[in-house]
């Protein structure tokens, strides 16, 4: 007699800002046989994945590899490795995840300086550079795409200013990598963290990162080889050591280098998933992928506008992959979301902090970013709103989206 039922998760249309639907080819790759982490066949897959990540990040950096863990693990690894106790860190905040960078920097023992923008907008480059001149930071950490507000922060020129002031620039590109351009070298970004569960359509569980020689120089100045792995005098104990073993990039890069110096047991099946997800991204082509995200955004926005729904935030800095919708007056936003899930199998997101209960967030990311999904969510949202007593022009939302697709 079975004590537990067979696992059979429901099929969902996931239209959140992450996670999103996983490409079936990625799921298939996760079922492949497990190899040992030092098997030459597996280390060849590791090297191939690094090459793919360089293309994704638009970089010639030597170091481009995944940190095992969710996206936050990559952010924490970069910050704990590149922020030494007492460093001055500047963090421009325009949503929830800027506050996360503040939280992590404090835990690194940094002297944290923040500047804040009203949620729904972003910073002008000149504002950030002026504050940099005042603070004289050792590190600037910022979010590229803020999914809590659906806004995209321009980065051009900030990296150059950091070079001129001898500061490192750490960028959270978790929500943007694979959906919009992230020009690591052209924008002079020192360390960039991506995410798997958003525009790459890979399950959450790895955090791709890349960093350049400027960043590597700092993390190597703090490097200490783990005691159980030392073969000689290669691990001074009197340095400002990185305050994490698992997230120490100095040790992680030894693991990903030809040394293959043991650090952890690699997440074999997740690496298969990442490698397949990257293959699909590069097969589609980055420019074609960016254009696909813009097309389905246009269709979704056209449908929402035809329904009479208002968007939240400054349209001039909107993320193509996240659309924020103001919940109509008198409508219970959570009740609508529940109906979408229970009756239509569609998941959209609410938001956080000052936006909780005020907006819905609809993601069009990666494999979820498809025309049939956009049409489905528009039709279901219209039906749910009508059932909640909201008066709107029935049928026009889907028709407006269809118009966009026909014109394209």
The span from the CA of 223 to the CA of 250, in Å, is 6
Task: Tell me: is residue 224 an annotated ligand-binding position.
Answer: no
The number of residues in the chain equals 408
Query: Which DSSP letter does residue 349 get?
Result: B
Contacts of 163 (CB under 8 A, 6+ apart): 188
**Nearest Cα to 167, choosing from 76, 89, 75, 57?**
89
The span from the CA of 363 to the CA of 293, in Å, is 10
- Positive or negative: CA dihedral 333, 338, 344, 347: positive
206-211: strand order across its sheet: 63-68, 206-211, 191-193, 168-172, 139-143, 88-93, 111-116
Phi-psi region of 259 (alpha: psi -120 to 50; beta: other; left: phi over 0): alpha
Which tokens belong to 26? 């990625």
The span from the CA of 141 to the CA of 31, in Å, is 37
Contacts of 138 (CB under 8 A, 6+ apart): 83, 84, 87, 88, 89, 167, 168
Which tokens belong to 102? 């503040």
**Phi, psi values for residue 405, rounded to 5°:** -65, -40
Phi-psi region of 394 (alpha: psi -120 to 50; beta: other; left: phi over 0): beta
Q: Pick out the residues of the known binding site for substrate.
A: 361
For the annotated binding site, the residues are 361
């Amino acid at each position: 007699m079975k004590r537990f039922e067979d696992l059979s998760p429901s099929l969902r249309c996931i239209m959140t800002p992450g996670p999103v639907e996983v490409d079936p080819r990625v799921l298939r790759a996760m079922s492949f046989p497990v190899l040992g982490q030092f098997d030459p066949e597996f280390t060849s897959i590791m090297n191939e994945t690094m090459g793919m990540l360089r293309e994704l990040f638009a970089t010639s950096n030597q170091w481009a590899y995944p940190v095992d863990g969710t996206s936050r693990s990559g952010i924490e690894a970069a910050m704990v490795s590149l922020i030494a106790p007492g460093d001055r860190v500047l963090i421009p905040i325009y949503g929830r995840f800027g506050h996360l960078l503040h939280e992590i920097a404090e835990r690194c023992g940094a002297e944290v300086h923040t500047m804040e923008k009203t949620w729904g907008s972003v910073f002008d480059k000149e504002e950030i550079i002026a504050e940099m001149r005042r603070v004289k930071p050792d590190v600037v950490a910022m979010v590229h795409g803020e999914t809590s507000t659906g806004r995209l922060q321009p980065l051009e020129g900030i990296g150059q200013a950091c070079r001129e002031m001898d500061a490192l620039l750490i960028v959270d590109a978790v929500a943007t990598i694979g959906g919009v351009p992230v020009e690591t070298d052209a924008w002079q970004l020192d360390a960039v963290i991506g995410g798997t569960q958003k525009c790459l359509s890979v399950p959450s569980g790895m955090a791709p990162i890349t960093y350049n020689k400027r960043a590597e120089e700092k993390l190597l100045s703090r490097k200490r080889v783990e005691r159980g792995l030392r073969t000689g005098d290669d691990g001074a104990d009197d340095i400002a050591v990185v305050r994490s073993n698992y997230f120490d990039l100095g040790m992680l890069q030894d693991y990903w280098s030809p040394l293959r110096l043991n650090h952890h047991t690699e997440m074999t099946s997740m690496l298969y998933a990442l490698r397949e997800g990257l293959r699909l991204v590069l097969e589609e082509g980055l420019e074609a992928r960016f254009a696909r995200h813009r097309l389905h955004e246009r269709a979704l926005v056209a449908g929402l506008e035809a329904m009479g729904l208002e968007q939240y935030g400054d349209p001039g800095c909107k993320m193509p992959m996240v659309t924020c919708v103001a919940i109509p007056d008198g409508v219970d936003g959570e009740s609508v979301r529940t109906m979408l899930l229970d009756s239509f199998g569609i998941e959209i997101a609410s938001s956080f902090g000052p936006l909780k209960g005020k907006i819905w967030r609809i993601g069009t990311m990666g494999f979820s970013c498809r025309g049939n999904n956009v049409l489905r969510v528009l039709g279901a949202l219209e039906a749910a709103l009508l059932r909640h007593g909201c008066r709107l022009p029935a049928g026009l939302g889907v028709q407006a989206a269809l118009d966009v697709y026909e014109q394209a």
